[in-house]
Structure 1
């Protein structure tokens, strides 16, 4: 997929999720919806925010946005979640930086009647959120592994994987998928702690 198609897909994704969030937000004169991304520097999340901003304006919703200072900044995401609840958000869309550490904050939000939807990355457990819109990262890894094997055309591989930071299942899912797609056997990564 080229960059333009990727940006379009990201924008369509953001529009769809924001429209869903606006439709299920509690009855308010102007629905307040939160969007918390991992960072504000990753082009994927920049486009997600731009698409969400545009859709919020179109739908007449107020969009609150925040992100972690760095990828993996769970404390920043927890603070953003708490601030959005205090500001009246009834639906919060979240790209969790730490799949497990964010769970207590999500539970507190839900206890206050806030719907929390995970985007792009699942929580651990996935059932901790009210919904999930994400890539099948294992399948993506399988496809990349199959592609790499075909591209090497039978040559002996020298493979090193650079996975995401510990505590995040996306890297582990892509890692394990790649190994399966390539036909390699290795330790099963659970939460990217390899």
Structure 2
């Protein structure tokens, strides 16, 4: 009988506690009430869910981007969801990730798209679901965005054409006799890849001693770059310089050059990866570009947070690039 009485008392106490919570919720003018902590147990519902969708984490560039996003997460107190494809060419996987995030009803998506066009339809679906979108790194195609009626998508990146121009010009300025050069492109059609090719072409065109004999896509990948470089040199064994649209491809090209004992070929890259800096210090690479991946990730999350709060963000934000050479490293 005593055991039954104790159970009844515990049940009655729980009922009173629940009632106390309800009364407190309906009486916000009483902040000193002891049950205030119970009222706040569901406050995490107000924490925004912000997803950052990147191409891959096999490229250290995107690891740095995540670090910047994590810093913003810690500052803002948001819930950060990090998603990536398996490879930089995993466009369909990125589309699937965005679909999942729509179903999960996240508040915002910060995306570094693998394709400038293929992600736009699913991002339109996201925006129609009232999900804020921030575009970082590789620009979504502005014409296609307008066609699909996607608006208010801020873009954060660097001036890729200018960065590539500076990188390619650094090796072009060292060429003072007739020399053949090659360009390793990223994914064709991706805006950042096209802009970097444009910048390299401009820099090489300014030197009358330079003849561009090959332009091939290695899809941002180190292994692809090794084999593409091998095939280019099989056709043009006297090439004296290579511009690579990212450091992963530059490292792949260097692997081939080292294997074939071509130590005098000038190599320019883009991204300022740690391994690229080691290659520059060693002398097997001459230059790269720091495009501040961490700042892009950091600002992307900040912009998303402000957009969730209803604040319009700048349509374009360009971060200054930094030329990285042996002199700047040492």
Q: Same fold (TM over 0.5)?
A: yes
- Cα contact 1:36–1:92 (8 A) shared by 2: yes
More strand, by proportion:
2
Q: Distance in 2 between matches of 1:175 and 1:52?
A: 28
2:154 to 131, 154, 168: 131
Query: Does 2:187 match 1:170?
Result: no
Match of 2:221 in 1: none
Runs of 4+ in 1 over 6 A off after TM superposition: none
- Matches of 1:142 and 1:54, distance apart in 2: 31
Q: How well do the aligned residues superpose, as a CA RMSD in angstroms?
A: 2.5
Q: How many residues align?
A: 162
Could you tell me which residue of structure 2 aligns to residue 161 of structure 1?
Answer: 183
Highest Rg: 1 or 2?
2
Deviations 1:125-179 (A, max 9, x none): 2755611101111111221232122122x22221111101233122221111111
With normalisation by structure 2, the TM-score equals 0.45
Corresponding position of 2:130: 113
Normalization by structure 1: what TM-score?
Answer: 0.75
Does residue 39 (structure 1) correspond to residue 56 (structure 2)? The answer is: yes
Unaligned runs of 5+ in 1: 1-27
- Structure 2, unmatched stretches of 5+, are 1-44, 219-330
The answer as to whether partners of 1:38 and 1:96 remain within 8 angstroms in 2 is yes
* Greater length-normalized contact order (CA 8 Å, ≥ 6 residues apart): 2
Shift of 1:110: 0.9
* Equivalent of 1:57 in 68, 74, 91: 74
Contact 2:112–2:136 under 8 Å retained in 1: yes
What secondary structure sits across from 2:184 in the alignment?
Answer: coil
Could you say which residue in structure 1 is the equivalent of 2:163?
Answer: 140
